[in-house]
Amino acid sequence: MVMNMAAGNALQLGSIEQFCRAAETGSFTGAAEMLGLTPAAVSRSISRLEQRLGVRLFLRTTRAVKLTAEGELYWKECQLALEQIVEAERAITGAQTVPSGPLRISVSAAYGTFRLLPLMPRFTELYPQIDIEISISDKIIDFVEEGFDLAIRLGIQQDSRLVAFKLEDAMLGVFGTPTYLAKKGVPRSIDDLNEHDCIQYISPNTGRPLQWLFTDDQGTAIEKPIASRMRVLNDALGAVAWVNAGGGLYQTYRFAVGDALRRGDLVEVLEKYGGRSRPFSILYPQNRHLSARVRAFVDFLRSAVKT
């Protein structure tokens, strides 16, 4: 009985690998060449897989094969599963003593540009065998659909499908150029913002503007709705560029304007009402085996942002 179960599992994994190779190459012949099999053997194996699943994975023609919608979904899941098996074998055999291979990271625009990218030369020097691809966008991603290993996002995620670690609380401030403040005046209270040109950022995920965060005279945390005729959609870096050009006031992270503040290109206002922050978290799927390269990056980043 045990031998039959083992043989069945081996056959199932072999069929899945053949399916993945056929999906990659777009042909049974290409898969056969990669695996040292005949095209007929690959075709039969995939047919048995389709029968077991009860769905058609490929549309077949005389010249090529094309994944169905079900096949596309199954392929993405199988790729993750096979990768986890390989990483698990490396972990128990000690084969991967040095993290290596591709690492795909999704990060929001401001954090990616001003926090993550300045740290990457140190990481790439520590781990020269890791191939890194970074997508910088404020849009929420689908890990399976888009093939990312991890993401860095604003907020504390409540999704049970994800593992989340808070990286840091990024301090906020309201900033403007000396030229703008000389023309419009320096706001002395939160209500004074109603008389100023405030640049508003619209989140691509909610379609709503981010509230500005303050602490009032009694030390109570408050959120200030900003009514503005100047709005930036999808990319917070656009709002940072706008305030740097003298377009108005904007509340953003101190790390995004640190150089401009040191040069005197920007000035912070309403500091007595400051002290607020927003959290950034690092995320990866709950059910995914944590590869050595992902673990190396998570450990590196959590350590780096504390220094």
- Whether 4 is in a domain gets the answer no
**Interval 257-275 mean pLDDT:** 95
CATH number for the domain including 181?
3.40.190.290
Specify the pLDDT at position 148.
Answer: 87
Write down which residue in 93, 115, 138 finishes a domain: 93
Band (307; pLDDT cuts 50, 70, 90):
low
135 with 103: CB under 8 angstroms?
A: no
Query: How many domains would you assign to the chain?
Result: 2
> What percent of the chain is modeled with pLDDT above 70?
90
Specify the pLDDT at position 93.
Answer: 55
What gap in Å lies between CA 171 and CA 303, rounded to an integer?
Answer: 18
Specify the pLDDT at position 124.
Answer: 95
Band (186; pLDDT cuts 50, 70, 90):
very high
49 lies in which domain range? 13-93
Band (90; pLDDT cuts 50, 70, 90):
low
Given a cut of 60, is residue 131 above it in pLDDT?
Answer: yes
Q: What does the H/E/C string look like for the chain? A: CHHHHHHHHHHHHHHHHHHHHHHHHCCHHHHHHHHCCCHHHHHHHHHHHHHHHCCCCEEECCCCEEECHHHHHHHHHHHHHHHHHHHHHHHHHCCCCCCCEEEEEEECHHHHHHHHHHHHHHHHHHCCCEEEEEEECCCCCCHHHHCCCEEEEECCCCCCCEEEEEEEEEEEEEEECHHHHHHHCCCCCHHHHHHCCEEEEECCCCCCECCEEEECCCCCEEEECCCCCEEEECCHHHHHHHHHCCCCEEEEEHHHHHHHHHHCCCEEECHHHCCCEEEEEEEEECCCCCCHHHHHHHHHHHHHCCC
Specify the pLDDT at position 8.
Answer: 42
Whether the model clears a pTM of 0.85, i.e. scores above it, the answer is: no
Question: Residues 221, 289: one domain?
Answer: yes
Write down which residue in 62, 93, 124 finishes a domain: 93
Specify the pLDDT at position 96.
Answer: 53
**Interval 113-120 mean pLDDT:** 95
Question: Residues 242, 297: one domain?
Answer: yes
Question: Residues 86, 166: one domain?
Answer: no
Specify the pLDDT at position 61.
Answer: 78
Question: Residues 258, 114: one domain?
Answer: yes
Specify the pLDDT at position 171.
Answer: 95
**Interval 89-96 mean pLDDT:** 59
Most distant CA pair in the chain, distance:
85
Better-predicted residue by pLDDT, 257 or 98: 257
Given a cut of 70, is residue 288 above it in pLDDT?
Answer: no
Question: Residues 21, 126: one domain?
Answer: no
Specify the pLDDT at position 139.
Answer: 83
- Whether 2 is in a domain gets the answer no
